[in-house]
Amino acid sequence: MSLEEEIAFYRFGQGVHSDVALLEAFSHLDEDKKREQLLDFSFLVRRTAPVDSDVEQALAGSSLGATYTPCFVLKKMGFRLKLDPVLSDEELENHYTFLLHLFKTAYQRQFSQERGNPAKWWFSDLSSQELVQDILTRHQALLVEIYDTPSFRSEFISLAKLWHDDKLAKQAMRQQPAPIHQDHFAFITYDEMVTSIIKMYDNKTMRAIDLLFTSVGKALSLRYGLSSEQARRLALEVIDRHMQETYGTGLFEK
């Protein structure tokens, strides 16, 4: 999720504009992108720390009806998105509609308590276009600074290569021919089945990415006084820039 998109959600949460544009944009996405958007947005919803009363209020305000089943669970560990593997466009859009209302309900409760908090721009008055532009300008300046900083350059170059290698491997897997239909089957042993499962999940590239990305995120947070979410976004954007320049393809492109 880009910073511009996140600002749009918070402006909606503050009542600066309605959900019409957000719902319209969502309706034009394909199924994979809709699921991706729901997952990304769920992190913002989680940040608002919704409670049961927020759920009830959001259900009443969303006009989805009593038959709607929310796509998440609230537990002691907080909000967690839960999507069925097969969902129609209507169901995905209903989930998105509900999450928008849940986000707005829970966020407005937080906003009333932390409005104007200088450490968290999302509690600023985002009705001011000048302030929004200032947030974007400062973000872009910090992005350029991090990209140009020699201290992190080798780590970002390594992450760009690892992510590019992972994308190529996944593309090769998607291009493999469909399995040939067979009428006769050979049974496999339990050990063979376990071995195949282990190989499926033994992605050394992703493990390396996770370890290095986590380390870089923590270093950025400490050096620039960023939240984990801000450090994560900046790191991803720097990696995307390196991939665009080196490999001609971005991190967020399939």
Q: What is the pLDDT of residues 47-94, one digit of tens each?
A: 898 888 888 888 888 878 767 777 666 555 456 667 667 678 888 898
Q: Are 157 and 242 in contact (CB under 8 A)?
A: yes
Cβ(216)–Cβ(156) below 8 Å: yes
Contact 125, 131 (CB under 8 A): yes
Per the prediction, the chain carries an average pLDDT of 85
Annotated domain spans of the chain: 3-127, 146-175+188-247
pLDDT over 80 (residue 108): yes
- pLDDT the model gives residue 197: 46
Whether the pLDDT of residue 4 is over 70: the answer is yes
What one-character-per-residue DSSP string does 110-162 give? HHHHHTT-TT-GGGS-TT-HHHHHHHHHHHHHHHHHHHH-HHHHHHHHHHHHH
pLDDT category, 246, cuts 50, 70, 90? very high
Looking at residue 178, what is its pLDDT?
55
Place of tokens 């309900």: 105
Average pLDDT of the segment spanning 12-34: 93
pLDDT digits (tens, 9 = 90+) for 125-157: 999 999 999 999 999 999 999 999 999 999 999
Span between the terminal Cα atoms of the chain, in Å: 15
Q: Is 22 exposed, middle or buried (0-12, 13-18, 19+ CB in 10 A)?
A: buried
What pLDDT sits at residue 200?
A: 47
Which residues are 75's β-sheet partners? 78
pTM: 0.78
Pick the more confident residue, 198 or 128. 128
Structure tokens belonging to residue 10: 């918070």
Alpha helix ranges (H) inside 52-88:
52-62
pLDDT greater than 90 at residue 195: no
Q: Which helix (H) or strand (E) holds 80?
A: strand 78-81
Enumerate residues 6+ apart whose C-beta is below 8 A from 64.
Answer: 94, 97, 98
- Residue 197 burial by CB count (10 A; 0-12/13-18/19+): exposed, middle or buried? exposed
Q: Using a pLDDT cut of 70, give the percent of the chain over it.
A: 81
> What value does the mean pLDDT take over residues 27-44?
90
Using 50, 70 and 90 to split pLDDT, how confident is the model at 239?
A: very high
Q: What is the distance between the alpha carbons of residues 45 and 86, in angstroms, rounded to a whole number?
A: 23
Least confident span in 61-70, 95-104, 107-116: 61-70
